[in-house]
Each structure stands twice: as C-alpha cells, then as structure tokens.
C-alpha cells in the first residue's frame, strides 16, 4: 500500500513539474514575442507609403507626417501622425495604418472643390465647409465663383454650403450659376447666365428652395426670389 501511494505521489509531482515547465515556457515565448515586436529591430519601421493624394505632393505628406523610422511599428503613435497630416489644408480626412512587418500606411482623402474665391487676383478652391484650401492655375469654368469677402469665414462657409447644395440637388442650375454673392450670411444671391438673379437668402432650406426654383425659372424674368420658399416671387 505504501509503495502504491509513493508511486502516485511521484507521478503527481512529475505532472506538477511538467505543468510548471509548460507555464514557464509559455511565459518565455510570450515575453520573447513581445520583445521581438515592441523592442527589437525585427519589426522596426522602415517604410512610409501614402495613397489618396492628387494635389498634395506625397513628399510633403511624408515630411509633415514625421514617421519615426527605426521605431517598432506597433509603438508608432498613429494618432499623432494623423493629427499632423490633417493639419494640411487640402486634406479632408486621414487614416494611418500599421502594416507589419515594416510599413506605416497613410491614407488621405482630399477636399473637393464646390466653388472658388478670388484672393489678390488668384483663384482658390473652396470646399463644401467653406475651407479655402489651395490656389488654382486658372478660374474653373465648371464651378461658381464666391463673390464675397474671402476673409469673412462665416460668409464664405454659408455661400460654399449653397454651392454644395446646388451641386447635389440640381446640376443644371449649377451649370447656369456664374457666381454666388453675399455681404452677410442672410443675403445670398445667385448670379445666373443671361443676367438673371436669384435671391436665395440664408443657406437654410436648400431643398424647398431648389424645388420651387426649377419651375420658377420657366418664367421669363430678371430676378427670382426664393428666400421664403413658401412664397416665391419673380421680377421682370
């Protein structure tokens, strides 16, 4: 009985030693993997790639991003890189991805122009939020001019919003719109082809204004007022 008990005890101790050895080995493997990924040169950052750019030079994005080459990929602060690249005016949004073993990928979405504004004789692109973000080589014939004070951000934003709403809702009207003028956010007007004017008012209620303006333009007139879309009027 004593021999059988001793044998069971030895087997139990042997299993315990193997269990402890397995745990130690697992810990060592995990620690080795953590060291290899987070601290060794096996997964260091060696390359930065940029996609999605059309008007912003890739070299400029890479320079602004300041990706720390030589640092382990998983330790790279992607949020900080996104913040730096997003500060570029032509960039609407940016996403930074880690691509093991050695690459940081920067995916850029640029702003889209809905209009342009004159700055000291140079046309500048304006996006739907009113951001004036890059100079243009020439005046774009397919976009309306914002005939406003380019330094008045609120008026630029309001007129840019109108340009974006027209582009989304009535491409034919957009083609007929030469300029969008305003002195205040509530005095927006459209300068159309054939010397026609549309009193738009504020940037609000774009849908109802577009809905009533299209049939209203069938009437021969010099001015159309949709500032109160429930009571549209014309002036010959």
- CATH number of the domain at 83, please: 3.10.20.310
Is residue 21 located within the same domain as residue 122? Answer: no
Summarised one tens digit per residue, pLDDT across range 189-232 is: 999 999 999 999 999 999 999 999 999 999 999 999 999 999 99
What's the CA gap between 66 and 52, in Å, rounded? Answer: 18
What's the CA gap between 155 and 162, in Å, rounded? Answer: 11
Structure confidence at residue 17 (pLDDT): 65
Summarised one tens digit per residue, pLDDT across range 56-102 is: 999 999 999 999 999 999 999 999 999 999 999 999 999 999 998 99
**Packing angle, helices 206-216 and 153-169, rounded to 10:** 60
* Number of domain units in the chain: 3
Tokens matching residue 110: 């640029």
CATH of the domain at 209: 3.40.50.10960
Is residue 88 located within the same domain as residue 154? Answer: no
Is residue 124 located within the same domain as residue 203? Answer: yes
Is residue 119 located within the same domain as residue 226? Answer: yes
Summarised one tens digit per residue, pLDDT across range 155-198 is: 999 999 999 999 999 999 999 999 999 999 999 999 999 999 99
Is residue 47 located within the same domain as residue 78? Answer: yes
Is residue 227 located within the same domain as residue 132? Answer: yes
Is residue 117 located within the same domain as residue 95? Answer: no
- The whole domain housing 212 covers 113-235
């Amino acid at each position: 009985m004593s021999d059988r008990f001793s044998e069971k005890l030895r087997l139990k101790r042997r299993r315990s030693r193997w269990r402890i050895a397995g745990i130690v080995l697992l810990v060592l493997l995990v620690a080795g993997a953590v060291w290899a990924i987070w601290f060794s040169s096996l997964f260091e950052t060696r390359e930065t790639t940029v996609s999605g750019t059309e008007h912003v030079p890739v070299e400029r994005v890479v320079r602004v991003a300041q990706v720390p080459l030589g640092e382990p990929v998983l330790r790279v602060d992607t949020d900080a890189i996104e913040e730096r690249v997003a500060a570029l005016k032509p960039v609407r949004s940016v996403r930074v991805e880690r691509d093991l073993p050695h690459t940081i990928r920067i995916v850029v979405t640029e702003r889209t122009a809905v209009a342009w504004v004159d700055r000291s004789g140079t046309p500048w692109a304006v996006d739907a939020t009113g951001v004036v973000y890059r100079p243009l080589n020439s005046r774009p014939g397919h976009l309306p001019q914002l005939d406003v004070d380019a330094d008045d951000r609120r008026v630029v934003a309001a007129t840019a919003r109108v340009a974006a709403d027209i582009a989304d809702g009535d491409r034919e009207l957009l083609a007929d719109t030469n300029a969008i003028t305003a002195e205040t956010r509530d005095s927006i007007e459209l300068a159309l082809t054939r010397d026609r004017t549309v009193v738009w008012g504020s940037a609000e209620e774009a849908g109802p204004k577009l809905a009533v303006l299209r049939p209203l333009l069938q009437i021969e007139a010099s001015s159309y007022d949709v500032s109160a879309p429930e009571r549209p009027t014309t002036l010959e």
